[in-house]
Amino acid sequence: MVFDILTAAANAAPQNKFGFMEALMPGGKPNYISITTVVILGIMSFGTFFILITKWIEQKKIMSQYADMRSSFWRAPSLREGSAKLEKNSAWRQIVDDGLTAEDQHSKMVNETDAHDWLTGSLMRSEASVNARLASGLPFLATVGATSPFVGLFGTVVGIYGALIAIGIAGSASIDKVAGPVGEALIMTALGLLVAVPAVLAYNFLQARNKRIAEHLQGFSTDVLANINSKGVVKPAFAAAPAAKAVPPKPATAPMTNMNTTPKP
C-alpha cells in the first residue's frame, strides 16, 4: 500500500527531461548556437578519421614498395632498368627518375663541382616533394586537436549563459533548475574533448610514420647519388651479390687397367 502511494506520487511529480537532444532543443525550440557547435565538431571528427585512414593507407603502400624495392631494384644492371621494375607513381621511382634526369642535364654544368651540386639538389627537391605529399592533411589534424576543445567550450559558455538568463527570468534558482541546463551545456565541452583526443593521437601516429619514411627516402636518395657518381659501381651493402662458393677440383683418377690380362707369347 505504501509502495503504491509512493509510486503514484512519483508519477504525479513533474518530470524534467535532460540530455543531449534537450541541450540542442531546450523547450522544444532549436538552439542554433549549440546545433552549429555540434555540426562543426562533427565535421572536424569526420575529417580526422578520413585523414587518418587515407594517410595510413598511403604510408602502408610506400613501406610495401620500399620492401619490394630493396629486394629487386638494386639487383638490376643499371638504374634505368631498375626504375622500370618500380611502380609508375611510386615515391621511389620518382627519386630515381629525377636523379636520372639530373644526370642527363649535368653535362651542361661548367665543372664537376657544379654537376655534383646539381645532382644533390635535384634529389633533395624530389625527396622534399615526397615528404610534403605525405605531410598533407596533418595540419588539419593539428588544428582540430588544438581548437576543438575551445569550440566545445564556446558551446558550453553560451549554453550556461542562456540557462542563467532563463533561470533569472523564471525567478527560481533551485538546484533542479540550475543543474539540468548547466549539465546540458557541459555536454559541448565533452564533445570537444572527444574530437580533440583522436585528432592528437592520429597526428602523432602519422607524424612518427612519416619520419621513418623520410629516413628511408634520405638513405635511398644517398644510394642513388652514389650510384650515379660512380657510374653504377657503388651499390648498398645489402644489394651486393653473395660471392660464389669455390668448387674444389675433382681429384684426377688414373685410367683403369685390366689386371687379368697376360702378355701374348
Would residue 44 count as lying in a domain?
A: no
Residue tagged 636518395 (cell numbers): 221
- Residue 174: inside a domain: no
Say if 100 falls within a structural domain.
yes
Amino acid 53: pLDDT = 96
The answer to whether position 104 is within a domain reads: yes
Q: How far apart are CA 202 and CA 213, in angstroms?
A: 17
Can you give the pLDDT at residue 257? 47
- Report pLDDT for 32: 77
Residue 200 forms part of a structural domain = yes
Identity of the amino acid at 89: N
Task: Please enumerate in sequence order all residues whose Cβ is within 8 A of that of 223, keeping only pairs 6 or more positions apart, or say none.
Answer: 74, 235, 236
CA angle 195, 187, 46 (to 5 degrees): 25
Structural domain count of the chain: 1
pLDDT at 234: 77
180 within some domain:
no
**Do 178 and 165 form a contact (C-beta atoms < 8 A)?**
no
C-beta of residue 220 within 8 angstroms of C-beta of residue 92: yes
Q: Quick check: 92 and 114 in contact, CB under 8 A?
A: no
This prediction's pTM = 0.74
| Residue 185 resides in a domain | no
pLDDT tens for the chain, 265 residues long, are: 434 543 544 454 444 455 556 656 655 566 677 788 889 999 999 999 999 999 999 999 999 888 888 878 888 888 888 888 888 888 888 898 888 888 888 767 666 666 778 888 888 999 999 999 999 999 999 999 999 999 988 888 887 887 777 777 767 666 666 666 677 778 888 899 999 999 999 999 999 999 999 999 998 888 888 888 887 787 877 766 554 444 555 555 545 444 454 444 4
Find the domain containing 57 and state its range. 49-152+192-239
The verdict on residue 246 lying in a domain is: no
- Report helix angle 32-72 to 112-135, nearest 10: 140
Contact 139, 203 (CB under 8 A): no
Q: What is the pLDDT of residue 172?
A: 65
